[in-house]
């Protein structure tokens, strides 16, 4: 059937269909992505975005990083924290639903993590927002952040540094809820007897991190 045939004997429903089909021909996925990026860049510049996030690659698997204007607020192992959606839902509830993806904002963190994993960096310079932590947990994690590269402490040690030497179990819970693994080095906290203890991302990640820092010999793979 040619176009002119169609035009001559067109029932109203067909006309409706033609209007619909013509109007629905829309911009390509690439154009949509560009428009979204320009809109979110502008919203960010106008201070309307409370949390930005991005996925990152690392030798320990994919990470999702989130930041507020004050600094890095969350770093999560995608395979251990329920994936990006679960992490973002939690941030929306705890902080704000004004969450937008913005990969370029995480270039400094990406660079520092690359250097760390290549053994060329001993500490992180990016600023941290402790907003997801409170009370004793925050004290324990801040004490943990002070443990230097290549050294280790114990649950009892960080509990003491946080002001309550006997709260070893609470310190363990605080480390287990660390919203900023790697950057806040909870992998440097071991059991008092010398056992590795647990790790939020799985014990093999803790072994890898301690191997990078020269505390453990590189595990056989």
Partner 1 sequence: MPPPFQRLLDDHSPTVLRFLVASVGPVDADDCFQETVISALRAYPKLRHSDNLRGWLLTIAHRKALDVHRSRARRAVPVEDPDPGHTVPDAPRDDALWTAVHDLPPKQRGAVLLRFVGDLSHREIAAALGSSEEAARRALADGLANLRKEWTPA
Q: What is the closest distance, in whole angstroms, from the C-beta atom of residue 31 to partner 1 in the complex?
A: 5
Q: CA 66, CA 150: separation in Å to the nearest integer?
A: 26
Site string for partner 1, 159-198 (x = CB under 8 A): ----------------------------------------
Alpha helices in 147-196 (DSSP H): 155-161, 168-176
Residue 186 a catalytic site member:
yes
Q: CA 145, CA 142: separation in Å to the nearest integer?
A: 5
- Binding residues among 44-73 for partner 1 as defined by CB under 8 A: 46, 48-49, 53
CA dihedral 62, 71, 175, 184 (to 10 degrees): 80
CB atoms under 10 Å from CB of 86, counted, come to 13
> Residue 41 or residue 79: which is nearer to partner 1 going by CB?
41
Q: What is the closest distance, in whole angstroms, from the C-beta atom of residue 86 to partner 1 in the complex?
A: 11
106 forms part of the interface with partner 1 (CB under 8 A) = no
Q: What is the closest distance, in whole angstroms, from the C-beta atom of residue 46 to partner 1 in the complex?
A: 7
* Residue 43 to residues 38, 101, 208, Cα–Cα distance (Å): 9, 12, 39
What residues make contact with partner 1 under the rule CB under 8 A?
Answer: 3, 6-7, 12, 15-16, 18-32, 34-36, 38-40, 42-43, 46, 48-49, 53, 85, 88-89, 91-93, 96-101
**Residues assigned a catalytic role:** 186
């Amino acid at each position: 059937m040619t176009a002119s045939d169609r035009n001559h004997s067109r029932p109203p429903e067909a006309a409706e269909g033609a209007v619909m089909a013509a109007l629905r021909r829309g911009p390509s996925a690439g154009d949509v992505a560009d428009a979204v990026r320009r809109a979110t860049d502008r919203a960010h510049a106008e201070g309307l975005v409370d949390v930005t996030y991005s996925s990152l690659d690392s030798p320990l698997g994919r990470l999702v990083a989130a930041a507020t204007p004050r600094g890095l607020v969350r770093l999560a192992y995608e395979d251990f924290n329920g994936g990006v959606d679960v992490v973002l839902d939690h941030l929306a509830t705890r902080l704000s639903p004004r969450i937008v993806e913005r990969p370029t904002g995480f270039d400094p963190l990406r660079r520092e993590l690359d250097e760390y994993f290549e053994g060329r960096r001993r500490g992180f310079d990016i600023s941290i927002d402790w907003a997801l932590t409170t009370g004793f947990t925050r004290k324990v994690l801040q004490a943990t952040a002070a443990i230097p590269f290549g050294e280790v402490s114990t649950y009892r040690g960080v509990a003491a540094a946080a002001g309550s030497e006997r709260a070893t179990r609470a310190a363990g819970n605080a480390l287990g809820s660390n919203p900023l693994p790697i950057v806040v080095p909870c992998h440097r906290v071991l059991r008092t007897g010398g056992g590795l203890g647990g790790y939020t991302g799985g014990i093999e990640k803790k072994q890898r991190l301690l191997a990078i820092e020269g505390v453990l010999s590189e595990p056989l793979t």
